[in-house]
A and B are shown apart, each in its own frame.
Chain A
Amino acid sequence: GAVVSQHPSRVICKSGTSVKIECRSLDFQATTMFWYRQFPKQSLMLMATSNEGSKATYEQGVEKDKFLINHASLTLSTLTVTSAHPEDSSFYICSGMVNTEAFFGQGTRLTVV
């Protein structure tokens, strides 16, 4: 299957700072990538759809000014959590599509202290 690489795998940051998470498609080009959030023992919740060369589409209730998405190339999408707060602590996962199948990154565990 296709490979999606996500970095960092873990990050701890202070409240009020910003954190950038990278998602790369290593062996395919991804015009669209998806960003999910997952709380402990819960399922993945779609946050936004990242479109190469255009603005991201955010799900209802997701603040686009807080979760900045940039998809500047066909192999890289980034999610920046701005002015992070403890309630933003979560597991963030990206995915890219190959035909109709989604392949996921390893996930990023964000802890805001």
Chain B
Amino acid sequence: EDQVTQSPEALRLQEGESSSLNCSYTVSGLRGLFWYRQDPGKGPEFLFTLYSAGEEKEKERLKATLTKKESFLHITAPKPEDSATYLCAVSPYNNNDMRFGAGTRLTVKP
């Protein structure tokens, strides 16, 4: 069964304090791994798609990496506006739907 586990559940950082969020997954053939940002009361906002181990993508202060078993979302010198819940999801080869992790709730204090 496809599974996605995110850790930590919650993370509190000081502004400028870099850290990483983890997404461990098991899937019967990975079509893609996705990272989303979700603000309270809103739908998820697309950040990255990773397709194969070794792939990396960057966007502003965020960098996503992928291995065969997990993905990391690295956040460098975060700002308070980066506070949100970050969701990881996987999509298997045999269908188009996505399985989400429970998310990491990130709070960045000024």
Contact = CB atoms under 8 A, between A and B. Distances in A.
Interface of A: 1, 4, 6, 32, 34, 41-46, 49, 91, 93, 95, 97, 100-107, 109
B42 A107 contact: yes
A93 B44 contact: yes
Mostly helix, strand, loop or mixed at chain A's interface? strand
Interface residues of B, number: 24
Contacts of A106: 42-43
B31 interface: yes
Contacts of A1: 46
B49 A107 contact: no
B46 A43 contact: no
Contact of A101 (B43, B46, B97, B105): B46
A41 B45 CA distance: 17
